[in-house]
Structure 1
């Protein structure tokens, strides 16, 4: 390192490394470096000062490009002071701010209860009362109640997010958002509680923290032989005018044999297993699975076969799959398959960049699959909205940014699978595959450059009943000028069936464009001896984007054109327009589709209209299907109304009219939800005197082997992580919970980054559920919740990475705290005199500073809330240098686990001795590192003068003096020393100096 630094210095002075050393030039370079460092630090201070004031939002990034629904962490500032991190979600008009993290940051006394949907308390002073009721969509401030709009509120499970503009109005604040640096600036004419407390304590908060990243030691969550099971369960009973039936579904997960086991079982009376899946998997972020294969995910059981080309096989089959593709990173940038687990009977809508592009109704196999969804150039923001059979509404977002090939030069990924199509681990009645047999599939992707990647895939099926088939797929992805992405894909099988596809995507004026052309050869009359081929040509053009987004709402569109020619005998043309307008919590979606088929005489023009939003306290959805050609008619319409009757009871009414078959129907439902489960009922009756009644229950069960046993929740446990913390008093400070040590009730345990929290019960156990999987978070305990003020956490905490369907067990130790007090003295002429305002630090046995305080005017100092252990109390060097004092007596402490008050830990100083004289000064430096570097470079001439003993004098933290020698008199010897050093072209001056020691 020193050699490298010397070479850099020689380069800076323009001298060859091997040439004679020009020490004068070296010294000048170092001085220049000093000045540049000082200028840089000054610039940083000016930048920090400028950032401490609220920026002009018109000059800052306005959040464009951040998808709606994206989770954001803002660093909050109040008048020059960094407060902490605030959780928020990007909205259409700005951000929704998490009420819990915001109130804790500004220290408002507001209790947020996500279970009841109610937040209440007061802010600034107790007379400013505050109540937010998410079920009634009302806010009460200082006794005055007013309604809030749907777009001003965002509820994500137990988290309540409020629009920043509404917080400004309610709390009389001004807030400015800087999306480019993720900073939130808060200002208030009134003095906020946090501001008053900081003024009282006169402490300087760190302004270097930028983002809330986990910082505590990470606690691994290794796979186990058997872990506690977690399952989401749905039970249903239905009856109609024809028959009655009962059914169930179980979606669960837990560790088994050091693997993660995911399972789904569903059945009904008369057929106990109508659908099932069982998959074992293991993931490794470091890609260290299976030795030389360096896999990061393996799975076996019921798996999906590897997709080698554009066609997706959505059938689960028993087998195994291995890949080293990075987790959560898409390799195919042309299309995506959006897949997930869901309970039966739910509807799912898929929105792409705000436009409804597809929906799945009344799913019954425990999953949703949107196959081969085209990815546009630029941002692809998908929103999935789930509608339960009893009126539940849930949301999920996924984002894909497509601006290149997704692979960097040299990257290569593989995936292969072996599956037995037509068979699962548990065969069931409704499982059928047209061509069963053993299927091997493999695909390999590699990047030739940062802009060009290629892939190849092969699949072979050993059929049980038909001829064997082999498929080959090859393709490439090319990125041109960072503006155009081209995909070329080719597939062929051993029956001469083939498909060639060309896709080009780009973006102009923030509008996404896509063109696709394909040629297909398909075998027809497979079962006949006269087999023949059919050719088809397909062309597609798509343009989509945002028309506007402002105070009047947001308008998105998507235009599609499809043309197909089959065997040059007949063709079809389809034109489609989709528009979505959203404003103030309301959404209006319209789809218009025109199609002309040469085999038909008339063209068709069909449309669909959807309107949803909240009218007062009623959430409503309206839909209408109509035809403009060949006949003008309304085909069907539907209206749904959902209203909360109490905090736990909701009512729903649905009216439908199908004019095609002339059937009208009405359905009413009552839904009751508690913290542990939901119970739902509905009654349907139509114009043909048909009726149907249903009763449904949905809940999640978990088993805590080290805690409370079986527990339940209305929120999913199988798709999220769970943490069970046992808080106890570690009486002997051995870090292990002994049988005689009891749990502490009433202690609040928090997940810092995922904003989950729970309070320990009478056994000292806290259960944090619905923790987002694979998101690392710090786990800490709130000292203000301790029942005994003399308790203290045994350590700073830790961080965990929750796994879906897994319960992490941890013990959190508390200790009895200790106090240390004493007086700082100065010994002068054998007399002891108190020394006021000394800065004192407490150092543990590892050398870490654990606490700091300042002595009072009478020399008295006090340390509180100390953990058991060995410590040393020291006075800061800067204070001693400033007062020309030095240590005369050290204080060491050994604090016990039982807690104690140590009195008389006095610190004694004495004045430094002073000697006047002269030094041979080599230079003055603002950095000790540069001084030492300079000393190393000039050691040759100094070593030639054997009588010299170089030393440096610290005048302040930014001022260091390097001296070659010291003498009590201005002797000829010092003058001679400088003369010799000057012959080496080094600076040297004899100066008077007072040395203290």
Structure 2
């Protein structure tokens, strides 16, 4: 039997006899040793297997050998796929590198039949590893000892499935990409930020709603309208509203000039994230003065989408005639408003979970229209960065508007016109501690004017976020509030307790209360979590409880449990409410409930039904309703509904609405009939908008909503001369999909589209998707555009495009004897001579490298730095290529790769 040792000795003796050099002898020894080793598989055992980690495909094909000895995986290629720093050196019959961290050194040596991992020696047999075709093939059981993976090979399905026992680099990168993509969509899309500077004047946008109603008895006749206008004026954003009463007389008017900048430059050198003058809302304190409407001015430098534990979230916005709005917090229905008040919706003290919250406002038109606005609010301690100063100011004549047109829907209070001044400041003392202070002069409802001062701290105690605030006023009142929040076991817990003495008035806990005794103490507790059900069903739950004790020992308790979840094709929401009130004269307790469900009967038919009821002390149904919405066509929708009120005065009402959604307006006919009184009503409502299209330089009549938020006008064309400016003879690009927060729009044959409904959030992201364009070789710039949307303002997005190329190259590994073989899982980058972001690709099992969307120009190819360094690879020769101006398919030749000097990395 010829062993490796005897073969080596014979080779040395033969080389000496022939007078050969030591190098020749060493090469001969190496070849004889390789030949002498038994091969645990042959070429006939080759299988091309897809490599997967769960739902993620890591490689569409890899050379796997399955023989009687087992399943063998190429260690070098497998490490490149997993992005591990392990290289194979066939000439030395070994592999070396490190796994996850440099201190976990890995060496696999076929000469000694030993692997070393972080100092631990792992012996292996001759049938567990072998050099073959330029790589080190390792049997699956040995590979599981060397790398943090578990492997399952399915030869019939040709799938190699792996399960990571530790987070591998490709998984960590995928998680980072997913976090970056959570707001922008595709992680591979290049993103750019487009400024929206304020102008001295821009053509304003308008929304108009006109409605009329006829009734049988002539008593409920109505003739209403509202008009909204928005645009830029005097280098600020102008928003104006005028609304009438049922007799067609103007009853409400509002106007505001404001500036917004989430990046902290709202007032230029004075900084700020938002500032305004006109009809505004003052800021809310953590304890003491609440947010109030009035005519005045405000300023804040606080982050637009952050709140602390003690500051209530008050949501306000425009609500058109005939619209209802529902508020979902983390997919749980929390509130609803069925009609506008002064043209607005208002949700006060919205309950939030600790951390990032998704708020979804769902608007329903009276004829079945549906639109959504999504906001994300980070709810935490209110800490600011160390050394940063945050200021919030507000000054207003509470309850008054800039233009007093009389009437209105809110009665004039005795406090109307009283000055309300609020100033709040936060300063970051350290990364974990923030100092807060505030002052206010205000007149609570039914109380005397008072001056208040407050101070507080925000910080964290381990995993618990906490804050404390104390306040005192010039009327002898004092109060202190403590808030804490945590998320144990995935459940958000937010608690807040306050104590008051000296008839202290805390509006944040009892806004609008004037005929009851002052609070002595108040406690709030909120829990938000998710319950897992059968078949993967996840049910989000929200529980809120508030307990108020007053100076006269009266006690009020309110508790509410809400849940919303998809169940098959149904979406169900339900709530249970407990109310208890105890005074010196009486005691009352009630249990109430409500449930509703929505389902799609077909693609164009949706049904909703709901019921509200009392559980105790007088069980029974209060109201029940059902509606059916039928989308007859893209332009025509029908709604049928019935509402049954049960109680002392039972009544049944039937409703029908027909909506015509034209390209430039909405027209609706509403009919209602009440059975008990035999009362009928017929209403007609028309809604439309006027938006200025800066590309066409003219007003365009649109469907309503253009004045309620931002808009974009996209201009896409083939930039033949590459100057970035569209010439008259340059062709437009139709079919470019413009994804906006309001939905998708598509450019016409001229390459233009006018998209509205972007809302008024801190930022909005517009994704330009060119996959639907007829010419697959056309490419543009950044795929995601970040803008700051503003009501009534249209931002132009120019999209010059050029024909690109698809480039194909072949990666080859050059052996020591000069032979070449395809090299899989090689990471390379194309770098343009003119600069810009590198274009990356990875070779497949056949060594093919494929680049898509390569713009015209000259390029150099380089190996990806980390992989080349860890695996000791370099280019055998420089690789350059040129993409012509008309793009197309470019075959770039070969990428020849070799190991470093003397086979060392």
d(CA) in 2 for partners of 1:548, 1:451: 32
Aligned to 1:640: 626
Q: Taking structure 1 as reference, are residues 542 and 231 closer, same or farther at Cα in structure 2, changes over 3 Å only?
A: same
Q: Taking structure 1 as reference, are residues 253 and 313 closer, same or farther at Cα in structure 2, changes over 3 Å only?
A: farther
Q: Which of 535, 544, 560 in structure 1 is aligned with 2:527?
A: 544
Aligned to 2:574: 589
Aligned to 2:391: 414
Say if 2:53 is the partner of 1:54: yes
Q: Deviations over 1:352-397 (max 9, x none)?
A: 5565554433223222222234545566555544443333444445
d(CA) in 1 for partners of 2:328, 2:719: 53
- What is the Cα deviation at residue 300 of structure 1? 1.6
**Is contact 2:50-2:60 (8 Å) kept?**
no
Q: Which of 549, 552, 555 in structure 2 is aligned with 1:572?
A: 555
Q: Which of 461, 464, 468 in structure 2 is aligned with 1:480?
A: 461
Count of residues in Structure 1 that have an aligned counterpart in Structure 2: 687
Question: Mean alpha-carbon deviation: is it higher for 220-229 or for 553-562?
Answer: 553-562
Q: Taking structure 1 as reference, are residues 602 and 635 closer, same or farther at Cα in structure 2, changes over 3 Å only?
A: farther
**Is contact 2:644-2:650 (8 Å) kept?**
no
Aligned to 1:260: 237
- What is the Cα deviation at residue 785 of structure 1? 2.6
Say if 2:494 is the partner of 1:519: no
- What is the Cα deviation at residue 778 of structure 1? 6.7
Q: Taking structure 1 as reference, are residues 619 and 310 closer, same or farther at Cα in structure 2, changes over 3 Å only?
A: farther
d(CA) in 2 for partners of 1:511, 1:779: 33
Q: Which of 704, 708, 724 in structure 2 is aligned with 1:735?
A: 724
d(CA) in 2 for partners of 1:369, 1:273: 21
Q: Taking structure 1 as reference, are residues 701 and 296 closer, same or farther at Cα in structure 2, changes over 3 Å only?
A: same
Aligned to 1:661: 649
Q: TM-score, normalised by structure 2?
A: 0.63
Q: Which of 684, 692, 708 in structure 2 is aligned with 1:703?
A: 692
Alignment map for 1:490-529 (pairs within 5 Å): 490-492=471-473, 494-505=474-485, 510=491, 512=493, 514=495, 516-519=497-500, 521-522=502-503
Q: Which runs of 5+ in 2 are unaligned?
A: 1-48, 62-153, 159-172, 506-513, 809-820, 842-849
Q: Which of 272, 297, 321 in structure 1 is aligned with 2:274?
A: 297
Alignment map for 1:286-685 (pairs within 5 Å): 286-290=263-267, 293-311=270-288, 313-331=290-308, 333-352=310-329, 356-375=333-352, 377=354, 382-400=359-377, 402=379, 404-429=381-406, 430=408, 432-435=412-415, 436-460=417-441, 469-483=450-464, 485-492=466-473, 494-505=474-485, 510=491, 512=493, 514=495, 516-519=497-500, 521-522=502-503, 536-540=519-523, 542=525, 544-546=527-529, 548-551=531-534, 553=537, 554=539, 556=541, 558=543, 560=545, 562-568=547-553, 571-574=554-557, 576-580=559-563, 582=565, 583-584=567-568, 585-601=570-586, 603-614=588-599, 616=601, 617-626=605-614, 628-629=616-617, 632=618, 634=620, 636-644=622-630, 646-647=632-633, 648-685=636-673
Q: Taking structure 1 as reference, are residues 434 and 359 closer, same or farther at Cα in structure 2, changes over 3 Å only?
A: farther
What's the secondary structure of 1:330's corresponding residue? strand
Q: Which of 809, 812, 820 in structure 1 is aligned with 2:796?
A: 809
What's the secondary structure of 1:567's corresponding residue? coil
d(CA) in 1 for partners of 2:889, 2:464: 70
Alignment map for 1:105-254 (pairs within 5 Å): 211=181, 212-213=186-187, 214-240=189-215, 241=217, 242-254=219-231
- What is the Cα deviation at residue 291 of structure 1? 6.0
d(CA) in 2 for partners of 1:256, 1:672: 34
Aligned to 1:690: 679
d(CA) in 2 for partners of 1:902, 1:522: 80
d(CA) in 1 for partners of 2:829, 2:332: 60
- What is the Cα deviation at residue 443 of structure 1? 0.8
**Is contact 1:756-1:771 (8 Å) kept?**
no
Say if 2:42 is the partner of 1:80: no
**Is contact 1:749-1:766 (8 Å) kept?**
no
Q: Which runs of 5+ in 1 are unaligned?
A: 1-49, 56-75, 83-186, 192-205, 525-530, 822-835, 854-861, 908-953, 963-997
- What is the Cα deviation at residue 344 of structure 1? 3.6
**Is contact 2:277-2:298 (8 Å) kept?**
yes
Alignment map for 1:933-952 (pairs within 5 Å): none
- What is the Cα deviation at residue 437 of structure 1? 3.8
**Is contact 1:302-1:424 (8 Å) kept?**
yes
- What is the Cα deviation at residue 635 of structure 1? 6.5
**Is contact 2:479-2:504 (8 Å) kept?**
no
d(CA) in 1 for partners of 2:576, 2:58: 49
Aligned to 2:251: 274
Q: TM-score, normalised by structure 1?
A: 0.58
